[in-house]
């Protein structure tokens, strides 16, 4: 994840947009995260993944909230896997590639 000051974001917005195609870009003010730019060029799953990466770094979950978030994130993957007949090893390999 890339961090950039609000002044740099203002002065180099095109570069920020280009960078957001590869990874989320967090805009800071006084060294504190204030905004983020993520790409919407891919499909909805790509956007969700970008957002999940962003949130996991900025606001990590702990305890029961982490368990619930994990279950919520994994459920659609499990449903797709069942439709496509993937097994747990296939899913683990796909997740490891990220």
Q: Mind listing the pLDDT tens digit for each residue in 18-63? A: 999 988 899 999 999 999 998 888 888 888 888 888 888 887 777 8
The pTM assigned to this predicted structure is 0.58
Rg (CA), the chain: 16
CA distance 6 to 15: 13
Q: Place domain 1-60 in its CATH homologous superfamily.
A: YefM-like domain (3.40.1620.10)
Tokens of 56: 């996991």
Helix (H) or strand (E) holding 3: strand 2-5
CA distance 32 to 3: 10
Stretch(es) of the chain classified as CATH 3.40.1620.10 = 1-60
Helix (H, G, I), strand (E, B) or coil at 17: helix
């Amino acid at each position: 994840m890339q961090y950039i000051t609000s002044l740099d974001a203002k002065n180099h917005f095109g570069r920020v947009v280009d960078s957001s195609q590869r990874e989320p870009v967090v805009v800071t003010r006084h060294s504190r995260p204030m905004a983020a730019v993520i790409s919407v060029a891919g499909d909805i799953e790509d956007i969700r993944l970008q957002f999940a990466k962003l949130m996991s770094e900025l606001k990590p979950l702990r305890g029961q909230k982490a368990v619930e978030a994990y279950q919520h994130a994994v459920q659609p993957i499990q449903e797709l896997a069942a439709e496509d007949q993937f097994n747990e090893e296939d899913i683990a390999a796909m997740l490891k590639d990220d």
